[in-house]
A and B are shown apart, each in its own frame.
Chain A
Amino acid sequence: MAANFWTSSHYKQLLDQEEVDVVHPLDKEKGITLVEFKLLKMHMANYIWKLATHVKVRQRVVATAVTYMRRVYTRKSLSEYDPRLVAPTCLYLAAKAEESTVQARLLVFYVKKMRTDEKFRFEIKDVLEMEMKILEAINYYLVVFHPYRSLSQLLQDAALNDTSMTQLTWGLVNDTYRMDLILVHPPHLIALACIYIASVLRDKDATSWFEELRVDMNVVKNISMEILDFYENHRMNMEERLNAAMAKLSLKF
């Protein structure tokens, strides 16, 4: 099983941070900055997560949906691919790809229920049209590997699989989907970074275990720093900054 990620399309599609951090020209024209771009994607990820709790799908499906959304915006603009439609459609597509189909009308129903913008209306056919556009944008690459699987295996191997560590690392992994990490790093390294942070927070000495792993600890530490920076950056006046970004695109959701 170890071999499969390395030969997967997911591995071949990993991008450099510089390739992910590109604001599409059409969005740039509207004044969207890189920071705002990231913020909007984070908001979309949160939105997908929220929507998923209504339609009751597994965490893995949500993680796949967020990954699709992030892949779409490495190639397409927020201006042309309306986030309010892309978000539910990614969830719709991920549910299908992960074999737990959610009916389109159910999604549309909950989007309407959660609606924040009275003016924005869409129907099932819009989701289905967007599904086609997303498939083309991501070139039908639908297989995504997530850190969750390696996480439980690694925690067990490190003998850190008590409830408190499991919950903490699991939550950290969930939070990594609010960033672009899944597009840039192999999933097991993201899992290791989360374990690293958790072991520091919980005061567990895992140094020797990490040393015995044949992985580049610099990469793991860099990912950890990115996660910590993310938490640091998002403590202050999020709402305001997000609203400013959305106003530029005349969006509300």
Chain B
Amino acid sequence: MEKYEKLEKVGEGTYGKVYKAKDKSSGQLVALKKTRLEMDEEGVPPTALREVSLLQMLSQSLYVVRLLCVEHADNRKDASKPPKPVLYLVFEYLDTDLKKFIDSHRKGPNPRPLSPNLVRSFLYQLCKGVAHCHSHGVLHRDLKPQNLLLDQERGILKIADLGLGRAFTVPLKSYTHEIVTLWYRAPEVLLGSTHYSTGVDMWSVGCIFAEMVRRQALFPGDSEFQQLLHIFRLLGTPSEKQWPGVSSLRDWHVYPQWEPQNLARAVPSLGADGVDLLLKMLKYDPAERISAKAALEHPYFDSLDKSQF
């Protein structure tokens, strides 16, 4: 690990600290994701293993954060003590994430909306990345603005933190319940569905899309129940007709009957094409929800110069 000079701690991942560092020989900035290995317990955490193996597979996409290498080190501060083995995932370094970026447009010295073209470009790249993951049989399961890294100068967005990702097989087996961060969690997950699929990521993409436009979260629930109510209040309480099977999901209860609101009012600055795409991402029935690949072809992106991606 002498190859790298640690510059500062930039965050805490799902299983360890993240440092900004410099490759001493090349001068390249990198992000080091540190994972302590509890050698007296269970070795390399499965989340780290999963992330490494998925990244090995997905890292060739421009829209997934690039894993440069994996370094194994014995951090021995004191020669008399036993070594503390540590695994470092070495990633390319990106200067900010979408959460910080949106925050900087909401508060601070110069609050202003994100430019519509930037929102379009970021959403397109996000869909590209998600389509790439899905075509490799990988669900991300935890898409949120904090997990989308930005290269501000070049206007590039990349998906990171695949710790909860999982290679899926057909038929979809039951996954561990409770995984996606609440605000971006799809209704089928909130209702206890055990057979969910790529739609969970597309729901999150829809929420992130709306958040870029509004500069605040679309459904900021603070409990699972609250989260559902937020969704139902805006999109209407789902019916069996709209979403066959919904009332037999494990956690379905009788909810107040809300009528759907006009979604366009929640995203007033978004044009008709954008609202149409958002509606397709926020379809209740996961089977009806637009796929990442189909989203890339949506008219909302017609004005985008796709040749740059």
Contacts and interface: CB of A to CB of B under 8 A. Distances in A.
Given A3-B135, A4-B137, A132-B72, A124 B40 contact: yes
Given A128-B37, A132-B44, A142-B53, A99 B169 contact: no
A129 interface: yes
B137 A131 contact: no
Nearest to B39: A128
Contacts of B166: 99
Contacts of B43: 92, 96, 104, 127-128, 131-132
B37 A97 contact: no
B49 A1 contact: no
Given A101-B46, A128-B39, A141 B137 contact: no
A234 interface: no
A228 B70 CA distance: 41
B54 A143 contact: yes
A59 interface: no
Interface in A120-168: 124-125, 127-129, 131-132, 135-136, 140-143, 149
Contacts of A149: 169-170
Nearest to B138: A4
A162 B50 CA distance: 36
A9 B49 contact: no
A96 B136 contact: no
Interface string B64-93: 000000101000000000000100000000
Given A99-B166, A140-B53, A141-B56, 18 more contacts: A1-B137, A4-B137, A7-B136, A9-B57, A96-B44, A97-B53, A101-B42, A103-B42, A104-B41, A128-B42, A129-B39, A132-B72, A135-B44, A140-B56, A140-B70, A142-B49, A143-B56, A143-B57
17 contacts: A4-B137, A7-B135, A8-B57, A93-B49, A96-B44, A99-B46, A99-B166, A104-B41, A125-B39, A125-B40, A128-B37, A128-B39, A132-B37, A135-B70, A140-B53, A141-B53, A149-B169
8 tightest Cβ-Cβ pairs between the two chains A and B? A142-B53, A128-B43, A96-B46, A4-B137, A140-B52, A131-B43, A128-B39, A4-B136
